[in-house]
Amino acid sequence: MQDGQAENTGTAEVNQFHAELARKIVGVACEHGYPAGYQLKEQWLASELGLSRSPVRAALHLLGRLGVVETIPNQGCFLTRPAKELGEGNWGLVQTGEERLYNALSRDRYARRLEQHINVTGLVRRYNTSRSLVERVLSRLADEGLVERETGRGWRFVPTIDNPSVYVESYRFRLTIEPMAIRDPGFSPDSNRLGELKSLHEELIAELAHTLPSRRLVEVDAEFHEAIGAWSNNRFILQAIQQQTRLRRLMEFQFSAAEPERMTQSCREHLAILNALEAGEREKAANLMRQHIEVSRDVLPEFVRDLRGSR
């Protein structure tokens, strides 16, 4: 059966697309922490998601059927409850085939059940799905920097932190680079961006860390560390930090879902660094950054512990 036969009809295909879009709209609402009664405007969402208004309208209609939004004639669509309550899996939309395949590919690659070079036909057989679905998921993984196209029509997974020795080397490198970024003579935080990051972390700590999709938590983590690199005003430091966030991405997708308490604590550590920077205490911030990286290094994800034990 191809993808649960979801792609055998045009209607089912459109419904799956609308389901994915509905998830994205909820993700936007969670990211901004919208309250109950907040109006979700079609035009703004279409612009935010890079789509026309028609599919956005259909996705909002689906969210209306699920009770996430209420449509008031001649007024618009409004959230029926605070975005902080719209965590993964608790608002009625079952996981789609694309989401299941995305998670399976991420999990199996990290567990080294998949080779670096990707055989699309092999994935179709392995996951008993359709070629078009595999191609869609690979495109999504490419957008997130987890796979890339090879010459011709092939794909491959990008290098990642997938064994204990690489894990330790990565953290040794980060312990050198990231505190140094704060101590760099050119370091100068952007006050507006610093304020935005503080507000975002305060929201996560207060109420959203356990309800946001794990992918969003990983993105916030990357935003914080890459902001530190950008504020160094040193392109080589920024490039090094960006490379590390890309290498860690696949690992942290798995870790954030399995260890939400650590992700919450990590947000507190980020906030402490931001507070020190706001107060002009750069040396304190650099020391806090070092402590943050050391704690993250020592709280090993289960799959890293397993890999270490298998050596």
Residue range 291-301, pLDDT digits in tens: 999 998 887 66
Provide the CATH number for the domain around residue 257. Answer: 1.20.120.530
Q: Is residue 90 part of a domain?
A: no
Last residue of a domain, one of 157, 183, 199: 157
Predicted pLDDT of residue 151 = 77
pLDDT digits 0-9 by tens, 66-118:
888 998 988 899 999 888 777 655 566 656 677 788 888 888 887 778 888 99
Question: Does 188 lie in the same domain as 136?
Answer: no
CB 72 within 8 A of CB 79: no
Can you tell me the distance from the alpha carbon of 54 to that of 47, in angstroms, rounded to the nearest whole number?
12
Last residue of a domain, one of 62, 85, 108: 85
Predicted pLDDT of residue 164 = 76
Provide the residue type at 281 as one letter.
E
**List of the chain residues with pLDDT < 70:** 1-17, 87-96, 162, 207-216, 253-260, 300-311
Task: Please state, in angstroms and as integers, the Cα–Cα distance from residue 176 to each residue in 12, 63, 218, 248, 299, following that order.
Answer: 51, 47, 22, 17, 19
Can you tell me the distance from the alpha carbon of 145 to that of 156, in angstroms, rounded to the nearest whole number?
11
Our count of domains for the chain comes to: 3
Q: Is residue 239 part of a domain?
A: yes
Question: Does 170 lie in the same domain as 120?
Answer: no
Question: Does 168 lie in the same domain as 152?
Answer: no
Predicted pLDDT of residue 291 = 97
Question: Does 143 lie in the same domain as 81?
Answer: no
Question: Does 169 lie in the same domain as 150?
Answer: no
Q: Is the pTM of this model over 0.75?
A: no
Last residue of a domain, one of 157, 182, 202: 157
Which structure tokens are listed for 311?
């050596």
Q: Is residue 260 part of a domain?
A: yes
Question: Does 250 lie in the same domain as 171?
Answer: yes
What is the DSSP code (8-state) at residue 206? I
Can you tell me the distance from the alpha carbon of 94 to that of 19, in angstroms, rounded to the nearest whole number?
9
Can you tell me the distance from the alpha carbon of 297 to that of 145, in angstroms, rounded to the nearest whole number?
23
CB-based contacts of 8: which residues, under 8 Å, 6+ apart? 2
Predicted pLDDT of residue 176 = 95
CB 273 within 8 A of CB 289: yes
CB 27 within 8 A of CB 213: yes
Q: Is residue 92 part of a domain?
A: no
Provide the CATH number for the domain around residue 125. Answer: 1.10.10.10
Strand (E) positions, the chain?
Answer: 39-40, 69-72, 76-79, 117-118, 147-149, 155-157
Question: Does 150 lie in the same domain as 246?
Answer: no
Predicted pLDDT of residue 16 = 62
Question: Does 131 lie in the same domain as 177?
Answer: no
Task: Please state, in angstroms and as integers, the Cα–Cα distance from residue 33 to each residue in 91, 199, 298, following that order.
Answer: 16, 11, 32
Question: Does 236 lie in the same domain as 218?
Answer: yes
Question: Does 198 lie in the same domain as 103?
Answer: no
CB 296 within 8 A of CB 167: no
Can you tell me the distance from the alpha carbon of 23 to that of 146, in angstroms, rounded to the nearest whole number?
21
* Secondary structure class of 72 (helix, strand, coil): strand
Chain-centroid distance, C-alpha 215:
3
Provide the residue type at 114 as one letter.
L
Predicted pLDDT of residue 255 = 60
Which structure tokens are listed for 227?
């902001």
Predicted pLDDT of residue 90 = 53
**Could you please report the per-residue DSSP string of 151-185?**
STT-EEEPP---SHHHHHHHHHHHHHHHHHHHHST
Predicted pLDDT of residue 254 = 64
How do the residues of the chain divide into helix, strand and coil, expressed in percent and rounded to 5? 65, 5, 25
Instruction: Please give the residue range of the domain that contains residue 103.
Output: 97-157
Question: Does 227 lie in the same domain as 171?
Answer: yes
Question: Does 123 lie in the same domain as 21?
Answer: no
Q: Is residue 91 part of a domain?
A: no
